């Protein structure tokens, strides 16, 4: 029920945001708004723009952090899977996260030199194919395990806890995890800006969002429900890395390799808007600086000519390094995702899109649509608060424990 509700919430908020791409008319403009931040500034003013800027950059940065944690878990799972296959399921196959996080960070330093979104179509295609692949594998393995068990494990009350308070913390953290899994509001307008018309960009993006949310929800429900049905209260937090499955080991390896490839692209999808924002700010602030603005042309054998900028290389490398270091300090998959999801869900996926829609459609206070959307926003705020409380408690417990 929670996943279906969050799917509906995400669909509503993305539809509202799609209409904010063109101003003042949602289909004919003529002003095109190329980013979420630009939209907030145009519709809601400078003060909201500054507040949103802090939250938006934190959200994108947090996603990059989460992707490093997840990718390291998947690389480690490949090592453990091979070890269990060689030594047996009871073998002490133990590997640390740090080397794999450093490896992923090194790859991202190189990938971060991709100039902008319009040069990343191939990366998006690869990431999408990988996502479908490991989702099908997770779904298939869970379904096969249920058939093999001959029963549906688990219970309607879920994983038991020592007390009612502990049960509430875990439930609230789960809401945070689901809140992290759905919204993509922060990069929606950047993606919409890559579309061509006709048909109008907002109609194409609404259709794409509806399809993507439907497909995403299908896989979430299949992996989540069949995973729990297969392992009951022993279901791992990450189905493909927590070793509910041991065999076929090569399929587990392949699924985790797909996750890593997906996250290589996903890291860039969420980091490029941060790069663009910071680099644009420095360019405007220091127009005469050669370090910030000067480009150098290089030609390597067998490769096309490319340009480098010293500031971009230094900033993007420092950005990747900082996310890698933080991931090494807090390598807690479910807890980190819960905190990030709860922290960013309401302001970015609900509050700002609703407020911008009010301005775009000139909706007056206390009209029926205003009351419905304001109530929608208030309920989502309450969900965000309880999810954040539960996730922070879980993160602190994991760190201290």
d(C-alpha 180, C-alpha 85), whole Å: 33
Ramachandran quadrant class, 243 (left: phi over 0; alpha: psi -120 to 50; beta: rest)? left
What's the chain's length in residues?
401
Residues of the chain above pLDDT 70, percent: 96
Domain around 353: 1-400
pLDDT of 309-357, one tens digit each?
Answer: 888 889 999 999 999 998 888 887 777 778 888 888 888 889 999 999 8
Query: Residue 393 belongs to a domain with what CATH number?
Result: 1.20.1740
**91 or 172, which is more confident:** 172
Average pLDDT over all residues of the chain: 85
Q: How many domains does the chain have?
A: 1
The distance from CA 64 to its chain's CA centroid, rounded to whole angstroms, is 8
d(C-alpha 293, C-alpha 307), whole Å: 12
pLDDT of 189-240, one tens digit each?
Answer: 888 888 887 888 888 999 999 999 999 899 889 888 888 898 888 887 777 7
Assigned token pair, 326? 């933080």
Assigned token pair, 266? 């996903």
pLDDT of 56-75, one tens digit each?
Answer: 888 888 888 888 988 888 88
Terminal CA-CA length for the chain: 31
Ramachandran angles phi, psi of 365, nearest 5° = -60, 145
- Residue 259: name the closest of 341, 138, 95 by CA: 138
Dihedral sign computed on CA atoms, order 117, 120, 125, 129: negative
For residue 117, the model assigns a pLDDT of 54
Q: Cβ contacts of residue 162 below 8 Å, gap of 6+?
A: none
Q: Cβ contacts of residue 331 below 8 Å, gap of 6+?
A: 69, 72, 97, 101
- Residue 141: name the closest of 248, 53, 42 by CA: 248
For residue 223, the model assigns a pLDDT of 86
- Residue 261: name the closest of 361, 170, 108, 130 by CA: 130
pLDDT of 279-316, one tens digit each?
Answer: 888 888 888 888 888 887 777 777 677 777 888 889 99
d(C-alpha 78, C-alpha 76), whole Å: 5
Cis? peptide before 248, omega within 30° of 0:
yes
The distance from CA 396 to its chain's CA centroid, rounded to whole angstroms, is 22
- Residue 208: name the closest of 60, 17, 6 by CA: 17
Specify whether the CB–CB gap between 14 and 206 falls below 8 A.
Answer: yes
CA distance to 31, 129, 274, 278, per residue, from 281 (Å) = 21, 35, 11, 5
pLDDT of 231-271, one tens digit each?
Answer: 888 887 777 776 666 678 888 889 889 888 888 888 887 78
pLDDT of 39-53, one tens digit each?
Answer: 899 898 889 999 988
The partner residues of 296 in beta bridges, in order of sequence, read: 308
Ramachandran angles phi, psi of 396, nearest 5° = -65, -45
User: pTM of the entire structure?
Assistant: 0.80
Longest dimension (CA), the chain: 71
pLDDT of 110-133, one tens digit each?
Answer: 888 866 555 667 777 887 888 888
The vertex-121 CA angle with 119 and 127, nearest 5°, equals 125
């Amino acid at each position: 029920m929670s996943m279906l509700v969050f799917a509906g919430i995400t669909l509503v908020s993305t539809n509202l945001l799609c209409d904010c791409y063109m101003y003042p008319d949602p289909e004919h403009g003529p002003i095109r708004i190329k980013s979420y931040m630009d939209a907030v500034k145009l519709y809601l003013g400078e003060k909201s723009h500054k507040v949103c800027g802090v939250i938006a950059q934190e959200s994108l940065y947090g996603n990059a952090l989460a992707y490093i944690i997840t990718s390291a878990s998947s690389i480690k799972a490949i090592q453990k899977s091979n070890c269990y296959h060689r030594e047996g399921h009871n073998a002490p196959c133990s590997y640390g996260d740090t080397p794999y996080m450093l490896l992923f960070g090194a790859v991202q330093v190189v990938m971060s030199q991709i100039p902008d979104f319009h040069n990343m179509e191939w990366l998006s295609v690869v990431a999408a194919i990988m996502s479908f692949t490991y989702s099908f594998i997770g779904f298939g393995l869970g379904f096969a395990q249920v058939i093999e068990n001959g029963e549906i494990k688990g219970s309607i009350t879920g994983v038991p806890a020592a007390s009612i308070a502990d049960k509430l913390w875990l439930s609230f953290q789960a809401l945070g995890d689901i809140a992290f899994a759905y919204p993509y509001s922060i990069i929606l307008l950047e993606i919409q800006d890559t579309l061509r018309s006709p048909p109008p960009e907002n109609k194409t993006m609404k259709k794409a969002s509806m399809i993507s949310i439907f497909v995403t929800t299908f896989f979430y429900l299949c992996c989540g429900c069949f995973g729990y049905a297969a392992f009951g209260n022993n279901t791992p937090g990450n189905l493909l890395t927590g070793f509910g499955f041991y065999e076929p080991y090569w399929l587990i390896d392949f699924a985790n390799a797909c996750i890593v490839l997906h996250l290589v692209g996903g890291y860039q999808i969420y980091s490029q808007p941060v790069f663009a924002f910071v680099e644009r700010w420095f360019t405007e602030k220091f127009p005469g600086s050669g370090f910030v603005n000067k480009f150098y042309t290089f030609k390597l054998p067998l490769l096309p000519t490319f340009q480098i900028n010293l500031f971009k290389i230094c900033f993007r490398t420092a950005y990747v390094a900082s996310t890698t270091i933080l991931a090494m300090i807090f390598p807690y998959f479910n807890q980190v995702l819960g905190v990030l999801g709860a922290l960013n869900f309401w302001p970015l996926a609900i509050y700002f899109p609703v407020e911008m829609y009010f301005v775009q459609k000139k909706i007056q206070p206390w009209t029926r649509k205003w009351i419905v959307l304001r109530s929608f926003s208030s309920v989502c705020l309450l969900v965000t608060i309880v999810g954040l409380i539960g996730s922070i408690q879980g993160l602190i417990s994991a760190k201290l424990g």
